[in-house]
Amino acid sequence: MKIDALIDELVKKRVFGGVKAHLYCIDWQKRGLPQAYILLWMEKRVTASLVDEIISAEIPDPEKEPRLHDIVTRNMIHGPCKGFNEQQPCCQDKNSKGDTCGKGFPKVCREELLFGNNGYPLYKRRSIGQGGNSIVKKVKGKDVTIKNSWVVPYNAYLCLLFDAHINVECANTIKCIAYVTKYVNKGCDRILYTKEGEETVNEVKNYQEARFGNVNEATWKIFRFPTHENSQQCCH
């Protein structure tokens, strides 16, 4: 129901503008939580002013927008990880280097949007000195000041409507298409498991590969809910 409602908002109600084509797929994390990857091809050329209008990467003002502030600080803050809690999986990622984690957090604060060279823009993230907001969060028993550098890009309307983690990005690269379609074709998740307590050493029996499934994924497939969808225009 939620994915149908979200696609309806994006495609039929055109909350971001006219959509020429769309593609989405459903994937399940190892913890069992479902997630949707959605791509939209827009009718109009995406400009910096349009990105600024529909995507934010800042903590809302708690006095002017109290409900949005509550939703964003609960759902759209990454970590903090690097420098505060480096046991997080993103810090163990192969892309983690220097002062940033595998997801690139914390981001660099800037006063205005800048289109980057990897197909993704560098969003406006004002520092506290530039008028940006902040919150204080407990991390391992210590108070940590969370600035806009830790905010996952979002759309205010969708956050208010669904009260959920909905990451919204402007992507201008063919890689994002390959990223989404790989989830359609990659097959089921796999795990390696070992058996303990056997006296004789048998590597084949000790390390076996199995399919990994969880209750949410099983329920989804038992009811035959769609795991992916694309509009006809997307195929051309």
Q: Where are the domains of the chain?
A: 1-44+172-236, 47-163
| Rounded Cα gap, residues 182 and 201, in angstroms | 37
Report the C-alpha gap between 104 and 121 in whole angstroms.
13
Torsion 194-195-201-207 (CA) sign = negative
The yes-or-no verdict on residue 32 having pLDDT over 90 is no
Q: How much is the mean pLDDT over the chain? A: 87
Residue 60 has pLDDT above 90, yes or no: yes
pLDDT 10s digits, 213-227: 788 888 998 999 988
From the CB of residue 94, how many other CB atoms can be counted at a distance below 10 Å?
A: 6
User: In percent, how much of the chain has pLDDT > 90?
Assistant: 53
- Residue 32, Ramachandran bin (φ over 0: left; ψ between -120 and 50: alpha; else beta): left
In degrees and rounded to multiples of 5, residue 123 shows phi and psi of -75, 160
For the cut 90, the answer to whether the pLDDT of residue 107 exceeds it is: yes
Q: Where are the alpha helices (DSSP H) in 186-235?
A: 203-206, 215-222
Rounded CA-CA distance 95/230 in Å is 31
User: If DSSP codes are grouped into helix, strand and coil, which group holds residue 167?
Assistant: coil
User: Would you say residue 122 has pLDDT above 70?
Assistant: yes
**In the block, which residue shows the tokens 């550098």?**
149
Q: Which among 25-39, 61-75, 196-210 has the top mean pLDDT? A: 61-75
Closest CA to 154 of 82, 13, 54: 54
Tell me the one-letter amino acid at 14: R
Give the CB-side neighbour count of residue 216, counting CA atoms within 13 A. 11
In this structure, of 51-55, 96-100, 122-126, the range with the lowest mean pLDDT score is 96-100
Q: Which residue has the tokens 């660099």?
A: 108
Q: Is 85 helix (H, G, I), strand (E, B) or coil?
A: coil
Phi, psi (deg, nearest 5) at residue 26:
-105, 135
Q: Which of 145, 9, 157, 170 is nearest to 77 (CA)?
A: 145
